[in-house]
Amino acid sequence: MTTPLAAILAARIAAAGPMTIADYMAECLLHPEHGYYASREPFGAAGDFITAPEISQLFGEIVGAVLVNAWRQAGRPSPFLLAEAGPGRGTLMADIIRTARIDPGFSEAAKITLIEASARLRDVQRETLGADAHRVTWADTLDELPALPLFLVANEFFDALPFRQFVRTGDGWRERMVGLGEDDALAFVAGAATVPDRDLPPGHATAPDGSIFEVAPAREAAASVIGAHLAAHGGLAVLIDYGHLRTAIGDTFQAMRGHGFTDPLAEPGLADLTSHVDFEALARAAASGGARPLPAMTLGTFLIGGGIIERAGALGAGKDAAAHEALRAAVARLCGDEDGQMGALFKVLALAGKDLDGPVPPFHAG
pLDDT in tens, 256-285: 887 578 899 999 998 889 999 999 999 999
Q: What is the dihedral of CA 356, 140, 334, 93, to 10 degrees?
A: 80
What pLDDT shows up at residue 55?
94
Mapped to the 3 state alphabet, what secondary structure does 277-299 carry? EEHHHHHHHHHHHCCEEEEEEEH
Going by C-alpha positions, the residue among 299, 274, 308 that lies closest to residue 350 is 299
**Structure letter (DSSP) for residue 208:** P
* pLDDT tier at 69, thresholds 50, 70, 90: very high
Position 39 scores a pLDDT of 65
Q: How far apart are CA 110 and CA 101, in angstroms?
A: 11
Judged against a pLDDT cut of 70, whether residue 207 lies above it is answered with yes
DSSP letter, residue 319: -
Check if the beta carbon of residue 201 is closer than 8 Å to that of residue 247.
yes
Q: Please choose, from the candidates 162, 297, 304, the residue with its C-alpha nearest in 3D space to the C-alpha of residue 241.
A: 297
The pLDDT value recorded for residue 205 is 84
Strand-pairing partners, residue 173, are 168
Find out whether the peptide bond into 79 is cis, omega within 30 degrees of 0.
Answer: yes
Q: Which residues contact 177 (CB under 8 A, 6 or more apart)?
A: 18, 19, 20, 21, 188, 189, 190, 191
pLDDT at 44 over 90: no
Average pLDDT over residues 134-144: 96
Confidence of residue 295 (pLDDT cuts 50, 70, 90): very high
Please give the DSSP secondary-structure letter assigned to residue 96: H
Asked if residue 47 has pLDDT above 60, the reply is: no
Verify cis geometry, omega within 30 degrees of 0, for the bond prior to 362: yes
Q: What is the mean pLDDT of residues 136-156?
A: 97
Per-residue pLDDT at 277: 97
Helix axis angle, 57-73 to 308-316, nearest 10°: 120
230 touches 293 (CB < 8 A): no
125 in Cβ contact with 116 (< 8 Å):
yes
Which whole number is the average pLDDT over 277-298? 97
Residue 42 confidence (pLDDT): 60
The predicted pLDDT at position 2 comes to 79
User: For the whole model, what pTM was predicted?
Assistant: 0.93
**Element containing residue 317 per DSSP (H, E):** none
Mean pLDDT of the chain: 93
How many C-beta atoms lie closer than 10 Å to residue 197's C-beta?
Answer: 10
Domains of the chain: 38-161+216-308+342-352 (3.40.50.150)
Q: What is the mean pLDDT of residues 319-346?
A: 94
What counts of helices (H) and strands (E) characterise the chain? 13, 16
